[in-house]
Amino acid sequence: MLKGKVALITGGTRGIGLETVRTFLENHADVILFGSKSESVQIAKESLKKEGFLVDGYFPNLNNYEEVLDIIKEIIKKYGHIDILINNAGISANKKIEDTTYEDFSKIIDLNVKAIFNLIKAVVPYMKDNQGGVILNTSSMVSIYGQPSGVGYPASKFAVNGITKSLSRELAPFQIRVNAVAPGIIKTDMVAALPEEQIKPLIQSIPLGRIGEPKDIANAFLFLASDMASYITGEILSVDGAARS
């Protein structure tokens, strides 16, 4: 589905990001993954190599625009173009408002919002030169309904939705599609580590009767990145088993 495409995926060293990298490789894309540090990038690359996949990996400070831009230029020099950008890197929060410091809030906004701005700003000129592209952002079910605590996380994901919808309109004339995927409860390392007494109520709250797998989200990204979604832009695709409350 992605043969001949070059995809850049942030937060690509574990969980949803790593599964998306794997899924895109299985569909014959050339993939570059970004991680938070050298060690995690190397571990991901070695793991994928054992599966028969070769990827390039970097670990830029996503809040440093010049650093991001330098690596984008390096990727363009090697591959010639970037067709797909997936902004998946992010962090969550669950502190009550009175326990949340300014630094806590700023850290979430920096990675979940400002970093997305930096990546898109750096990549868009090259997508315009290439006469098109796809930008996909990781949102969340809490971007629609909020959450009981950790206000910074839903605030950042509401912002992701705003970026997605606004840029879909701005960039449509250049044949650049912009969409987001809003995962529900997904079996990441954090969820998998929860005790059974906490997992059961989560499952019972989901009409489809199961927790989502990283592959469910990766497949949504695959569809939106492919030509099958060529007339879809400005959408926030919920992938949550109907767990929307």
pLDDT above 60: residue 245: no
Give the confidence band of 7 by pLDDT, cuts at 50, 70, 90: very high
- Annotated active-site positions, please? 153
Q: At what angle do helices 152-171 and 102-109 cross, to 10 degrees?
A: 30
- Listed residue (166, 182, 10) closest to 84, CA to CA: 10
Mean pLDDT of 46-68: 97
Domains of the chain, earliest start first: 6-239 (3.40.50.720)
pLDDT above 90: residue 149: no
pLDDT above 90: residue 243: no
Per-residue pLDDT at 221? 98
Q: What pairs with residue 9 in β-bridges?
A: 33, 86
DSSP single-letter state for residue 227: G
Mean pLDDT of 46-71: 97
Task: Please say whether the beta carbons of 145 and 244 come within 8 A.
Answer: yes
pLDDT above 80: residue 193: no
Per-residue pLDDT at 145? 83
Percentage of residues in the chain with pLDDT exceeding 70?
A: 98
Rounded (to 5) percent helix, strand, coil in the chain: 50, 15, 35
Give 139 or 193, the one with higher predicted confidence: 139
Strand ranges in the chain using DSSP code E only, listed in sequence order: 6-10, 30-34, 56-58, 84-87, 133-138, 176-183, 236-239
Per-residue pLDDT at 202? 80
Mean pLDDT of 35-56: 96
pLDDT above 70: residue 190: no
3-class SS of residue 186: strand
Give 193 or 188, the one with higher predicted confidence: 188
